[in-house]
Amino acid sequence: MLAPDQFLLGIALTVLLAVGSQIVASRLRIPALILLLPAGFTAGALTDVVHPDKLAPGNFSSIVSLSVAVILYDAGLGLRLRQLRSTTRSVVLRLLVLGVLGTWASVMALVPALFGVPFPVAVLLGAVLVVSGPTVVGPLLDHVRPPDRVRRILIWEGTLIDPVGAILGTLVLHSLIAGDFQLSRGFHPGEFALSWLVGLVGGAVGAALLWFLLHRLRLGESLGTLAQLATVVAVSAGCDIVRDDTGLIAAVVAGLAVANLPGLGMPARRPFFETLVQLIIGLLFVTISAGVTPSSVRPVLLPTLALIGALVLVVRPLVAWISTHGRGLPRGERAFTAWMAPRGIVAASTASAFAATLAGAGLPGSEKILPVTFLVIVGTVLVYGLTAAPVAAALGINRPARARPLIVGGRPWSVDLARCLTSAGLNVTMWTATEEQRQQVRRAGIEPAPGELLAAATDPSGRLEEVTALLLLTDDDDFNALVSVVARDSVDGPVHRVGPPPDAPGAVATRTGADVLFGPGLGRDVLAARHEQGARFTVGAPGEGPPPGHDALFVLRADGRLDPATEARPARPGPGDRLVLLGPAPGGRPAQGPPAGGR
């Protein structure tokens, strides 16, 4: 037990390491886990105040279980059943079944020879290492940007395999203890089904409570977030009281149900809840890794490297290749699926709890479970985190880093702007209101967006995939202003609108704002008038500023990103960057307002 001052120091240091590691990782554009685990391990080696047994003696495993339940609930909210089509569903089911059986059997066969531990320890360690996890897979996929089908397969697999592995490990643990470390004496197949039944019932209860709270009572964002947190914690705790670790199943089921129940309209982005989950992930990884001592890692380091090599180079490729055979996936997508199976928070949390329980029961070799799991997590995250992008590029399946803006509007000047951006190498798509304007877009060589795309952008529960920016360039200023607010959570990138004329009659649109394009003096009326009088959009030379009489509208970064100029952020090109410019009207004629009507 720590003294009050030491406890406060431990909490402060844990939070600082958790948040600081994620901030640094975001700046370096690497998975946060690469920094979180070494940070916690170092803090645990140099101090005593971050150790989980000191911060929460006797209750740490329960805290971890509830925290992981919150994480898995959030992961379940991101699963849409409409995305689980026949091919995806078949591959995910195969990966789950073959992944669990193949990984478990491989670890059971290798661990006794590599580490010299009894077979029961190998069985339990195999159950721990079958899991993957969305908290690790998701950030890696965000960095690599593979095709949507591959992303869905890996996210579904990582989310669903976590509770499977946790339940499997718990049953093995209880069977070993009940059978005096003889698995055959204490194992009862019906217990696995009973655990799943408890978890499914708990998930159904949680979904019903959340449907009542969110749909019937119509709680706002703040109270709705609190209601979700309280419901998940209460249901998960209740399930764990009935059957250990069944709360994880309940959490995933509740999240999956809430995400797909009609009438709830869960937003694609949940800023407060996502922030909470990120904090929980950081705290768990720091505290769990702090419980691993250098003296426990040294004896198992080399054998663990051999185990990691077998899992990465043999087991996962074999499982993935069999699971994707005959499912219609291109060879590159199959190969990338075979190169993505990092271990995450569930492996760390279950290993921490199981090792402590078995050590207390006196099972020889149980002290190696946590350091081996720790090294497998670190090793797999390093391997996949550092190689995923190059492998995806070599396989030709990563989406290009260049911007893919969606332009909404069909006026001649906006079509000409889209043509200019396309000529600069961007993958531009346009949404227009009428078939006549769509024909104009096609004649300009631009890809017309499907009609339902804008509906997806304005659906709070939807997500625009592959679109990196939304540019609203219609003549309806209120439409632009409203959609810029509604679609902000559905686009994986910035949302901007063109500025209204100074005397615009709109009731919602304002003249200024962080999302208004191009700054003062370049509203839609001026842009349309200058274009009608002969001004054209061009792309400047790398590193050069705007020539006299030209206005900078965008900065096309050397890495393919598109940064618009706004009133708050003027266009400032760096080395290798190019400016998208609007030139002057021939003859210097003054700009006049455009004709009315249309989008």
Specify the pLDDT at position 9: 92
More confident residue, 451 or 205: 205
Specify the pLDDT at position 75: 81
What average pLDDT score do residues 342-352 get? 83
CA distance 104 to 173: 14
Closest listed residue to residue 324, CA positions, set 313, 336, 309, 311: 336
Specify the pLDDT at position 180: 54
Specify the pLDDT at position 42: 92
Residue 546 has pLDDT above 50, yes or no: yes
Specify the pLDDT at position 453: 54
Residue 464 φ/ψ, nearest 5 degrees: -80, 110
Provide, rounded to the nearest whole percent, the portion of the chain with pLDDT above 70: 87
| Run of H or E including 582 | strand 578-582
CA distance 345 to 171: 19
CA distance 522 to 431: 22
Under DSSP, is residue 405 helix (H, G, I), strand (E, B) or coil?
strand
Could you report how far apart the first and last alpha carbons of the chain are, in Å? 68
With helix as H, strand as E and coil as C, how does 528-567 read?
HHHHHCCCCEEECCCCCCCCCCCEEEEEECCCCCEEECEC
With helix as H, strand as E and coil as C, how does 123-140 read?
HHHHHHCCCCCHHHHHHH
Specify the pLDDT at position 596: 38
* CA distances, 164 to each of 96, 236, 250 (Å): 9, 15, 12
What average pLDDT score do residues 309-338 get? 93
Closest listed residue to residue 348, CA positions, set 320, 381, 318: 381
CA distance 396 to 394: 5
Closest listed residue to residue 154, CA positions, set 135, 129, 130, 137: 137
Residue 179 has pLDDT above 60, yes or no: no
Closest listed residue to residue 352, CA positions, set 329, 380, 371: 371
What average pLDDT score do residues 234-258 get? 88
Closest listed residue to residue 245, CA positions, set 35, 64, 108: 64
Is residue 81 within 8 A of residue 323, CB to CB? The reply is no
| Mean confidence (pLDDT) of the chain | 82
* CA distances, 89 to each of 324, 378, 463, 490 (Å): 11, 30, 20, 24
How are strands ordered across the β-sheet holding 578-582? Answer: 537-539, 578-582, 551-556, 562-564
Residue 593 has pLDDT above 50, yes or no: no
Q: In one letter, which amino acid is 261?
A: L
Residue 400 has pLDDT above 60, yes or no: no
Q: In one letter, which amino acid is 213?
A: L
Residue pLDDT, tens place only, 3-19: 888 889 999 999 999 99
Closest listed residue to residue 133, CA positions, set 309, 332, 321, 384: 384
CB-based contacts of 138: which residues, under 8 Å, 6+ apart? 75, 155, 158
In the numeric block, the tokens 């006026």 are attached to 411
pLDDT-based confidence at 303, cuts 50/70/90? Answer: very high
In the numeric block, the tokens 């699963």 are attached to 79
More confident residue, 303 or 185: 303
pLDDT-based confidence at 588, cuts 50/70/90? Answer: low
Residue 591 has pLDDT above 80, yes or no: no
Residue pLDDT, tens place only, 85-122: 778 889 999 999 999 999 999 999 999 999 998 888 88
pLDDT-based confidence at 399, cuts 50/70/90? Answer: low
More confident residue, 462 or 532: 532
CA distance 423 to 155: 35
425 forms bridges with which residues in the sheet?
none
Provide, rounded to the nearest whole percent, the portion of the chain with pLDDT above 90: 22
Specify the pLDDT at position 563: 87
DSSP at 577: -
Asked which of 232-236, 401-405, 440-444, 586-590 is least confident by mean pLDDT, the reply is 586-590
Token pair, residue 231, equals 């419901």
Kindly report each contact of residues 546-551 with a partner whose C-beta sits within 8 Å and lies 24 or more positions away, as own/partner. 546/571, 546/579, 546/581, 547/581, 549/583, 549/584, 550/581, 550/582, 550/583, 550/584, 551/518, 551/522, 551/581, 551/582
Specify the pLDDT at position 315: 95
| CB-side neighbour CA atoms (13 Å) of 357 | 22
Residue 230 has pLDDT above 60, yes or no: yes
Is residue 486 within 8 A of residue 455, CB to CB? The reply is no
* Cα of 199 vs its chain's centroid, Å: 25
